[in-house]
């Protein structure tokens, strides 16, 4: 059968149509790809900023941790300073000890001879402390002190009623003017009837 010359037109038109369709498809793909890329780029800045924002506290924290530490020098505790009263008592003890060997004399109040209360009065008067004259009156002044808490300079009393006084110097010893015929001496507080003690300075 003879082929009509126009019979080839549909075939040409079909090929052309296919070519145009492929061109449209390619352009559509390019447009879609471009749109997707634009969308991706629009997302990327916010995505990249997020880690930076998240890292900000860590940066601040790092600066805080690396802040310089100021060392404070340790100052040793100050040694205890003797009070005026302690100094007065120590001086009174030193005064009385300076008279060891001085004669005993009833009613003697120094500076060369003493009775018991006369020695106490003389020793404390030298440091500005005025006291009663007799041992019994002395046992009523100042602050009571237990025998276990005696400190140098405390007055120790003997017999009941009180009739003798000495000045405690530590280690169970006292300095006193004891009796006629015996000079001022250092003796233990043991060996006589202990009565009480007083702190007068």
Residues 6+ apart with CB under 8 A from 143: 198, 199, 200
The Cα–Cα gap between 117 and 106 comes to 10
Per the omega criterion (within 30 degrees of 0), is the bond before 17 cis? Answer: no
* Residues known to be catalytic: 116, 164, 176
* Residue indicated by tokens 């005993």: 104
Query: 197, 135 in Cβ contact below 8 A?
Result: no
The Cα–Cα gap between 61 and 56 comes to 9
**Residue 115 CB-density burial (10 A; 0-12 exposed, 13-18 middle, 19+ buried):** buried
**Residue 131 CB-density burial (10 A; 0-12 exposed, 13-18 middle, 19+ buried):** buried
The Cα–Cα gap between 176 and 121 comes to 12
The Cα–Cα gap between 36 and 30 comes to 10
């Amino acid at each position: 059968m003879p082929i009509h010359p126009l019979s080839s037109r549909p075939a040409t038109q079909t090929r052309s149509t296919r070519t145009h369709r492929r061109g449209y498809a390619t352009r559509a793909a390019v447009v879609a790809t471009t749109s997707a890329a634009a969308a991706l780029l629009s997302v990327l800045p916010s995505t990249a900023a997020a880690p930076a924002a998240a890292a900000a506290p860590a940066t601040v924290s790092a600066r805080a941790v690396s802040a310089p530490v100021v060392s404070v020098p340790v100052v040793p505790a100050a040694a205890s300073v003797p009070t005026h009263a302690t100094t007065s008592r120590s001086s009174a003890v030193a005064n009385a000890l300076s008279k060891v060997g001085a004669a005993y004399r009833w009613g003697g109040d120094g500076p060369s001879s003493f009775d018991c209360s006369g020695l106490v009065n003389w020793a404390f008067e030298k440091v500005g402390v005025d006291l009663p004259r007799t041992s019994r009156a002395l046992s009523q002044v100042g602050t009571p002190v237990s025998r276990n808490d005696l400190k140098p300079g405390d007055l120790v009393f003997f017999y009941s009623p009180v009739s003798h006084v000495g000045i405690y110097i530590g280690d169970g010893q006292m300095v006193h003017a004891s009796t006629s015929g015996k000079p001022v001496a250092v003796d233990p507080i043991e060996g006589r009837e202990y009565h009480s003690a007083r702190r007068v300075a």
